[in-house]
Chains A and B, each alone.
Chain A
């Protein structure tokens, strides 16, 4: 059974628009860790953020923000004022001792 669902396959926006990426996860464990990774067109995978299941404090880092809600099993990611360089595939991942990735959301930011 899929443990991480990213329902949005592709999102296309114009520069300066905000983009929110949805991630819903499923696990029976009470302790687990959630991640977001970015894969730019060059192909490498870059770690963005980690959250543990006990830390529901939302975070803002520059133009990025994350919204973790345990009650709805969601860990959403927002890019504020998007830029062309944000164009990439974004993956949500869950680690409850085996790392499971969602299918990814392709974000295209047009100038």
Chain B
């Protein structure tokens, strides 16, 4: 079991560029989510999905898009990167309800210049 994998590990973008952060899990989890971690602010939920074809917004969705075409994959797209999106991004997966703990990927450190 690889668990939750994220690519890339590090990325530098220029303002206005677009990119996709990849996330995959091999635990057959229905629930997947994306968080950003900024100093002093903990982890904030960007988008989440309760199953293939179903996504919803979290606390800070602006500037990000997601889709869930398979159970395994949940990519996060930045359409036009801004310096405010400089952060560490974590993908997580877990069981189908709120009682389940989340398994986190190793994170992607993104810098937007």
A contact residues vs B (CB 8 Å cutoff): 4, 6, 9, 32-33, 35, 43-45, 47, 50, 52, 91, 95-104
Residues of chain A within 8 A (CB-CB) of B88 are: 43
Do the beta carbons of A33 and B98 come within 8 Å of each other? Answer: yes
Do the beta carbons of B104 and A50 come within 8 Å of each other? Answer: no
Q: How far is the CA of A35 from the CA of B107 in the complex (A)?
A: 20
Residues of chain A within 8 A (CB-CB) of B99 are: 33, 50, 52, 95
B contact residues vs A (CB 8 Å cutoff): 33, 35, 40-45, 48, 58-59, 88, 90, 92, 98-99, 101-104, 106-107
Do the beta carbons of B101 and A50 come within 8 Å of each other? Answer: yes
Do the beta carbons of A45 and B45 come within 8 Å of each other? Answer: no
20 example contacts (A-B, Cβ-Cβ < 8 A) are as follows A4-B42, A33-B98, A33-B99, A43-B106, A44-B104, A45-B90, A47-B103, A50-B101, A95-B98, A96-B98, A97-B98, A98-B45, A98-B59, A99-B33, A99-B45, A101-B35, A101-B42, A101-B43, A101-B44, A104-B42
Residues of chain A within 8 A (CB-CB) of B98 are: 32-33, 95-97, 99
Tell me how many residue pairs across A and B have CB atoms closer than 8 Å.
49
Q: Which of B35, B102, B103 has the most CB of A within 10 A?
A: B102
Q: How far is the CA of A101 from the CA of B41 in the complex (A)?
A: 9
Do the beta carbons of A91 and B45 come within 8 Å of each other? Answer: no
Q: How far is the CA of A35 from the CA of B95 in the complex (A)?
A: 14
Q: How far is the CA of A9 from the CA of B39 in the complex (A)?
A: 11
Q: How far is the CA of A98 from the CA of B33 in the complex (A)?
A: 10
Q: How far is the CA of A103 from the CA of B104 in the complex (A)?
A: 17
Q: In chain A, what residue has the closest Cβ to B98?
A: A95
**Chain A min CB distance to B93 (Å):** 12
Do the beta carbons of B101 and A91 come within 8 Å of each other? Answer: no
Q: Which of A4, A32, A47, A91 has the most CB of B within 10 A?
A: A47
Q: How far is the CA of A97 from the CA of B44 in the complex (A)?
A: 14
**A9-B40, A33-B99, A52-B99 are contacts. A100–B106 as well, Cβ < 8 Å?**
no
Residues of chain A within 8 A (CB-CB) of B42 are: 4, 6, 91, 101-104
